[in-house]
Amino acid sequence: MPTITVLPSGATADASEGDTILFALLVGGVPIRTECTAKAQCNSCHIFVHEGAASLSKIAGPESDRFKMIASAGPKSRLACQAIIGTSDVTIEVVG
C-alpha cells in the first residue's frame, strides 16, 4: 500500500493504487483544500511532487490546461485531484 508524505509537516496518508492523491489525503485525515470538487477547474489542490512522480498517472488535458493559468506551476506541479497513485510511495508539498 503506497504512502503519501506531505512536506514540511511530515503528515502521512495510506493510499490504494488507483486513488487520486486528493482522495487519499482526505480519507487519511490530512487537510487539503478543494474548491471545484476534483474537476481540475481551480488550483486549490496544486501540489509539488518531490518523490514518486514516476508512479503517478500522466498529466492529461484538463490538468495541463489548468497549469497554463497557474503562475507558480513548474515541472514538479500536479493537481492532487488529477494525480492517480500507482504502486510507489509519494512525497508532496501542498502549494495551492
**2-27, pLDDT tens digit by residue?**
999 999 999 999 999 999 999 999 99
- pLDDT score for 13: 98
Q: Taking residues 24-39, report their average pLDDT.
A: 94
Secondary structure element (H or E) that encloses residue 48, with its range = strand 46-51
Q: What is the CATH number of domain 3-94?
A: 3.10.20.30
pLDDT for 56:
98
Q: In a 3-state reduction of DSSP, which class is residue 65?
A: helix
Average pLDDT, stretch 63-90? 94
Threshold 0.75, pTM exceeds: yes
Taking the C-alpha atoms of residue 72 and residue 56, their distance in angstroms, rounded to an integer, is 20
Q: Rounded mean pLDDT of 69-89?
A: 95
